[in-house]
A = this chain, B = another copy of it.
Amino acid sequence: MKTKILLKEADIPTHWYNVMADMPNPPTPPLGPDGNPVGPEALSAIFPEELIKQEMSAERWIKIPDEVRDVLRLWRPSPLYRARRLEQALNTPAKIYYKNEAVSPAGSHKPNTAVAQAYYNKQAGIKRLTTETGAGQWGSSLALAGQMFGLEVEVYMVKISYEQKPYRRSMMHTWGASVYPSPTDRTNAGRQILEQHPNSQGSLGIAISEAVELAAGRDDTNYALGSVLNHVLLHQTVIGEEAKKQLELVGDYPDMIFAPCGGGSNFGGIAFPFFADKAAGQEVQLVAVEPTSCPSLTKGLYAYDFGDAIGLTPLLKMYTLGHNFVPPGIHAGGLRYHGDSALVSQLHHEGLVDALAVPQLETFEAGVLFARTEGIIPAPEATHAIAAVIREAKRCSERGEPKTLLFNLSGHGHFDMSSYDRFLAGELRDYDYPEEAIKESLADLPQVKFPQN
């Protein structure tokens, strides 16, 4: 029995899989504040044409440019692991597989889309990309990708993270990006905040406003987003495509697939290529795993809401906790998002994607067990999938069911060791389900005239 199932470089997918082609209903369009669908022209100030096309495409397969595959092969195909030691520790009849996306130079799945976005922007004659980042996973991935195509990258990093989590900032510098603690005095948005709150520690919402403002105001500059949007999920489908091929090599097919779900690109990346089979009648359960303290899919409302905290973006139909919702300070920063991808949300709404919420302590317990059996220390986001898999594997033990489980190990925890420290010292806690806060922020959803159809 192999531990790692490897593919050749020639097996890097040649096409991305577009789930919109197989959804039973057409995807809900993004809306302007007037309730009318947002057209491509509204997006062209900050995105290149090719990405806007992908955002709206109904084509099942979209060709991956050779130049993109050429960068991806620095780490792709990523290995698929059989978690033999974890299975033994759990004494489960279940087979557990994981796709290891931690092998990218930035340490997570994020570069899969960063590289594609950098490429299309370069092709469109763009000189510079702006983006926001919290703890720095996305910012460092875009810094890496920009460097590979000779694009300047400006990252607006939430000030408190800039100060408290310096090492991902250092990664971005090493890859040649400029990193600014947001709010800055470089934008109207930033200056406005600083006038009112000179000591502002920043927020993801403010950082987005700064990055978008700069991209919208400069012809040679575009903006890049690391999750939520359709084209971002599209670029991540290389994960699931490879995993399918790797499981075929060992004659296996998953009964259930698990991935952490914040904005949805991690989940969509591994699950959508299997959704193609599901749409064709194959039995396979797709499970998006989220934190109980930020439970958009399991406790949110399926409604039109802003994608960002401030209300700059078009309205997206999604499971949301309300764009004003501020999640508790859990350590899986990448899952602290009030909403979800419109595609994942729609499929969940239609009963084709399942969702599960897991409390923080259980995720860290799972992470430690994984590290002590499989060796790799997982990112706090990834531990959500691991915790869900462990629950299922234990259920398999009780029932004697030899299910095949697959999950996305979306990143390593090398820059999250202080979170493990606090967990091992007994300093982390679970949060009560923030029912009141969610109720309040949901009462504040934007009022839109829905399009008639």
Contact bitstring A357-371, B, C-beta under 8 A = 1, else 0: 000000000001001
Highest count of chain B CB atoms <10 Å: which of A3, A85, A368: A3
A399 interfacial by beta-carbon distance below 8 Å: no
A9 interfacial by beta-carbon distance below 8 Å: yes
A105/B376 contact (C-beta < 8 A), A4-B9, A175-B371 known:
yes
Judged by DSSP, the binding face of A is: helix
A395 interfacial by beta-carbon distance below 8 Å: no
The 20 sampled A-B contact pairs (Cβ below 8 Å) are A3-B9, A4-B9, A6-B8, A74-B375, A103-B103, A105-B374, A105-B375, A105-B377, A144-B375, A147-B372, A166-B421, A167-B414, A167-B417, A168-B417, A170-B417, A170-B424, A173-B420, A173-B424, A174-B377, A174-B420
A420 CA to B168 CA, complexed, in Å: 11
Give the 4 A-B CB pairs with smallest separation, nearest first: A105-B375, A170-B417, A167-B417, A414-B414
Q: Are B6 and A174 in contact (CB under 8 A)?
A: no
**Copies in the assembly, this chain:** 2
Highest count of chain B CB atoms <10 Å: which of A8, A144, A167: A167
Contacting residues, chain B, for A170 (C-beta < 8 A): 417-418, 420-421, 424
A4/B414 contact (C-beta < 8 A), A147-B372, A420-B170 known:
no
Give the size range of A's interface with the partner. Answer: 35 or more
A181 interfacial by beta-carbon distance below 8 Å: no
Contact bitstring A98-110, B, C-beta under 8 A = 1, else 0: 0000011101000
In the complex, which residue of chain B has the Cβ closest to the Cβ of A9? B2
| Extra 10 A-B pairs, beta carbons < 8 Å, given A107-B414, A168-B417 | A3-B74, A6-B6, A104-B375, A166-B421, A167-B417, A170-B417, A173-B421, A174-B371, A174-B372, A174-B377
A126 interfacial by beta-carbon distance below 8 Å: no
Contacting residues, chain B, for A414 (C-beta < 8 A): 107, 167, 414-415
A3/B73 contact (C-beta < 8 A), A173-B424, A420-B174, A424-B174 known:
yes
Contacting residues, chain B, for A205 (C-beta < 8 A): none
Q: Are B73 and A4 in contact (CB under 8 A)?
A: yes
A61 interfacial by beta-carbon distance below 8 Å: no
